[in-house]
Amino acid sequence: MESTAILAIAGAMGAGKSAAAACLMEGLHRSVWLDGDWCWQQGRDWHFDSATRAMALDNICYLLRSFVRNEHFERVVFSWVLHLPETWDALERALSELPVIWKPVVLTCSEGELRRRILARGGTEADVERSLSRDAACRALRLPLLDTTRLSVEETARRILEITA
C-alpha cells in the first residue's frame, strides 16, 4: 500500500480553511476532502464539551482511516481548526498503523480581517473572540504558517500546495 498524503489545513474560524479546501478540490485528482466540522455539525448553539469533542474526533479518525485505506485516493484534504497539540497527537496515534504522510499548514490572517470575515457571515463578537483565541493557539503549534489576509482563495490554495509539496 502506497502512502497517502494528508494535507491538514488548520486555522481559526474565518482563516479560510473551507474555502481553500474547496478550491483545492477543483484541481486535484485522486483526492477526497474532509472538513472536521462535518463530523459534529450542530444547530446554531454548538456544544464544545469534552463528550462532543471526543465524538467528533472519533468520527474524523474513522473517516480518515477509511479514506487512507481506499486505493482510489492518494491525498486527503483535511480542514479543521486543529488548535490543540493533543488533537494532533490523537490523530497521529489513530493513523499510526497506516502509511500516511502528514503535510500540515496553518492558515492565519490579521485580527481585523478575521473579525471582518466572521461578522460578514453572521458571526457574533463572541465568535470573533473565540476565533482570535484559536488563532493564537494555532500560531503556537510551530507548523508552517500561511497568512491569508491579502490572498484570494485561489492564491491561498496554490500556496498550500507549494507549502505541502
What does the angle CA 72 – CA 18 – CA 118 come to, to the nearest 5 degrees? Answer: 170
73: left (phi over 0), alpha (psi -120 to 50) or beta: beta
pLDDT band at 138 (very low <50, low <70, confident <90, very high): very high
Structural domains of the chain, ranges and CATH numbers in brackets: 4-163 (3.40.50.300)
pLDDT band at 43 (very low <50, low <70, confident <90, very high): low
Looking at residue 104, what DSSP letter applies? E
The label of the residue with cell 473551507 reads: 18
| Range of weakest confidence among 32-36, 37-41, 57-61, 141-145 | 37-41
Q: What is the pLDDT of residues 51-100, one digit of tens each?
A: 888 888 999 999 999 999 999 999 999 999 999 999 999 999 999 999 99
